[in-house]
Structure 1
Amino acid sequence: MKSLSLVSLFAISTLAVGCVSQKKYNELQSRHNQLQTQHNALTSQNQQCQSDLSSSKTRISSLEDQLTSERANLSSLQAALDKCLTASTQGGVNIAKLVDEINASNKYIQHLVNLKNKSDSLNMVLTNNLTRSLDRDELQDVDVKVLKGVVYISLSDNMLYKTGSYEISEIAGNTLGKIAKVIKDYRDYDVLVEGNTDNVPINRPNIRNNWDLSALRASSVVQALQNSYGVDPKRLTAGGRGEYNPVAGNDTEAGRTRNRRTQIIVTPKLDQFMDLIEKAPDSKE
């Protein structure tokens, strides 16, 4: 009778262990599904932000081409006018038309130049405000520069995260707060947060590769800007570029350190900017 009771007790214990294992499996399966859903969403956001950034670069390039074309057109009109004046005095009507076209072309070129100068000035002020707000130690981990009309704020991962993690460290909070304050002052600018890694494979639970890590890091910064510092989430986009956008070689530790970075890219809202470009000045002015 005593032997039978021990067998029964062992059977009950085995069943209990089995139940706990199934529950743990279900929890892990649920966590896996959640992470898969987050990954799919971040991948979609990354594709969208890459498309937006590519469109931005194309539009800026188009504006520069347009300026070049208008200057060439002005030169051609001036040459035609000079030829007309030299050849005959009977082309008064044509000369007047050429003069009007030249004046209109001059006004439009000046309009485009003024828009570009305004954008460059705003970017320079934004850059100066950011640089002045950061102390010397912070500037060792933060690089601010303007490239092709866009402000790039590059933050090292040593300052933002623990190695191999996407959680923002406590020491990064003060720096992000200063950056967020300047961003909030420029409400007509959109903000793309872009994560980058080196090419060393990641080996962490629930992070499959460097694509995952870079996207999760960008998402962490976006959520901090929104939740901790009040930046309008409609202005924010998060994207990860993994190891595929290096700024240095990955064959040295110094190069890998430079490649492990998160960039906050501040750009004018392109819809509003293109509307201004398309509004040529009134020829009567």
Structure 2
Amino acid sequence: MRLLFGALLLAITLGSCVPAKTYNDLVAKEKNCAEELKRYKTSSLDYEAQLKTVQARADLMQKDIVKLKADTSALGNQFRSLQAKYNNSVSMGASFEEQLDKIKDSDAKHLARLRSDLEAKIIETQRKEDALMAAEKELKEKQILLADREKRVAELEEIISRQEMAVKALEMKISQALRGFENKGLKVEERNGKIYVSLEAKLLFASGSTKVEAEGRKAIIELAKAVQGDEELEIIVEGHTDSDALSSASHPKNNWELSVLRSTSVVSIMMDNSSINPKILSASGRSSYHPVDQNDKAKNRRIEVIIAPRLDALFELISK
């Protein structure tokens, strides 16, 4: 400002002695200078305002920097903590993987054992199932066999029942036919499904004789007539003697021969006086070896006519 004032003073002083043109030029310059100065002042003020704004922003940024440093430090601490945790997690993960591998290996072995046990059980179950099926098959076969046997048993029981009834009826028929000889040494009884007609020797024969006496002949004829016509019988005439030895030069020579000749005499009378079929008759001698009373020789001297139903149907059924 002082420089400008001095310039003006010098211009005025010299105005009196300088040309007008020069003066005007100086005035114009002075005006330009003033305007330029004004612009500089305006710019200075603008720069000063901008500087304050920049300074305020710099202060804010400084605060942000401080805060960022603090945040960065905290984040660094968090990062290091997380890094430690991560490293620990990685270590634990590796340990877990190792344990998992061991468990997998153990489980694989256990699974293999289970699979082996399961296969063994399946094989055993199949074996038992096969055995069960075989047992069921055998059971069915046995059930069929049992049913067949039950049927056969029922048939046997029916045959036996019919035969028992027939024997009872025949016993009654024979008893009725021989009723007049009951107290004369004749006895009729049923034993084991057979009818035994026992005739003491005193009713039939004289001592040592094989010829049947008249009373005994009547009994034998009645017996023959009672059973004639029944083809489903077996009639065995047995001769028995006592234990007294018989020795003779003529017939009968001994007890064996005497027992046989007496039985054949009875068979002859039965055939000659009835229509009985000779095929169902047989004669035999037992001598003295089948006594009925050791203390009574008279009872041992006897003829036994054994009448039994033929069991052909029964044996045929049993043989099947």
Q: Is the 8 A contact 2:229 2:277 kept in 1?
A: no
Deviations 1:176-235 (A, max 9, x none): 121101221422112111000001122554221111110110010011111122322222
Q: 1:199 to 1:107 in 2, by over 3 A?
A: same
**Which of 175, 190, 195 is matched with 1:131 structurally?**
175
Distance in 1 separating the partners of 2:310 and 2:141: 37
**Structure 1 residue 97: Cα displacement:** 5.1
Distance in 2 separating the partners of 1:175 and 1:92: 63
Q: 1:94 to 1:261 in 2, by over 3 A?
A: closer
* 2:276 aligned partner: 231
Distance in 1 separating the partners of 2:237 and 2:160: 24
Q: Is 1:117 aligned to 2:156, yes or no?
A: no
Distance in 2 separating the partners of 1:153 and 1:258: 13
Q: Is the 8 A contact 1:193 1:221 kept in 2?
A: yes
DSSP 3-state at the match of 2:214: coil
Distance in 1 separating the partners of 2:139 and 2:259: 61
Distance in 2 separating the partners of 1:126 and 1:278: 27
Opposite residue 263 of structure 2, the aligned amino acid is A
Deviations 1:7-55 (A, max 9, x none): xxxxxxxxxxxxxxxxxxxxxxxxxxxxxxxxxxxxxxxxxxxxxxxxx
**Which of 174, 178, 198 is matched with 1:154 structurally?**
198
Q: Is the 8 A contact 1:151 1:267 kept in 2?
A: yes
DSSP 3-state at the match of 1:265: strand
Written as runs of structure 1 = structure 2, the 5 A alignment for 1:1-16 is none
* Structure 1 gaps, min length 5: 1-87, 280-285
Distance in 2 separating the partners of 1:162 and 1:118: 41
Q: Is 1:190 aligned to 2:231, yes or no?
A: no
* Cα root mean square deviation, aligned: 2.6
Distance in 2 separating the partners of 1:203 and 1:99: 64
**Structure 1 residue 100: Cα displacement:** 3.6
Opposite residue 260 of structure 1, the aligned amino acid is R
Q: 1:190 to 1:98 in 2, by over 3 A?
A: closer
Q: Is the 8 A contact 2:228 2:274 kept in 1?
A: no
Opposite residue 147 of structure 1, the aligned amino acid is R
Opposite residue 227 of structure 1, the aligned amino acid is D
Distance in 2 separating the partners of 1:121 and 1:215: 32
Distance in 1 separating the partners of 2:183 and 2:231: 24
Q: 1:114 to 1:98 in 2, by over 3 A?
A: same
DSSP 3-state at the match of 1:115: helix
**Structure 1 residue 278: Cα displacement:** 3.6
Q: Is the 8 A contact 2:181 2:219 kept in 1?
A: no
Q: 1:181 to 1:274 in 2, by over 3 A?
A: same
**Structure 1 residue 139: Cα displacement:** 4.9
Identity of aligned residues (%): 26
* 2:301 aligned partner: 260
Opposite residue 213 of structure 2, the aligned amino acid is S
Written as runs of structure 1 = structure 2, the 5 A alignment for 1:35-50 is none
Distance in 1 separating the partners of 2:163 and 2:223: 20
Larger radius of gyration: 2
Deviations 1:47-105 (A, max 9, x none): xxxxxxxxxxxxxxxxxxxxxxxxxxxxxxxxxxxxxxxxx9xx987765554444333
Determine which structure has greater relative contact order: mean sequence separation of CA pairs < 8 Å that are 6+ residues apart, divided by chain length.
1
Q: Is the 8 A contact 2:259 2:287 kept in 1?
A: yes
DSSP 3-state at the match of 1:171: helix
Relative to total residues, which structure has the larger helix share, 1 or 2? 2
**Structure 1 residue 124: Cα displacement:** 1.1
Distance in 2 separating the partners of 1:273 and 1:169: 39
Distance in 1 separating the partners of 2:143 and 2:179: 55
* 2:265 aligned partner: 220
* 1:177 aligned partner: 221
Q: Is the 8 A contact 1:138 1:175 kept in 2?
A: no
Opposite residue 135 of structure 1, the aligned amino acid is R
Written as runs of structure 1 = structure 2, the 5 A alignment for 1:58-97 is none
